[in-house]
Homo-oligomer: A and B are copies of this chain.
Amino acid sequence: MMIVVAYDVNTETASGRRRLRLVAKTCMKYGQRVQNSVFECLVSPSDYLVLRHELDDIVDLERDSMRFYNLGAKYSTRIEHVGRQRHVPVDDVMMV
């Protein structure tokens, strides 16, 4: 299934900047970065639980925010892209 991970990490402090790096590094293990703070992760349900667990250990729940969007298995028609492309499409994601 395709999970979109979007996050806002408070980078006012050094620890916040560290959290930001760790969140990105963790997401990179599971998927592609499509925007500064957005990853698309093609994961099994069990991998998704591990990803969530790793991210929950990193973020500060009082200061950071994460949104997870589950696009399911048939996700390519659910994604549209406009403008500068950041990554090589995983498969035939619709370009408009």
Contacts and interface: CB of A to CB of B under 8 A. Distances in A.
Interface residues of A, dominant DSSP: strand
Interface in A3-38: 4, 6-8, 10, 34-38
Q: How many copies does the complex hold?
A: 2
Interface of A: 4, 6-8, 10, 34-38, 52, 55-56, 59-72, 77-86
The interface centre, meaning the residue of A7, A55, A65 with most chain B CB atoms within 10 A of its CB, is A65
Contacts of A56: 82
Contacts of A71: 69, 71, 78
A10 B67 CA distance: 23
Contact of A82 (B66, B69, B72): B66
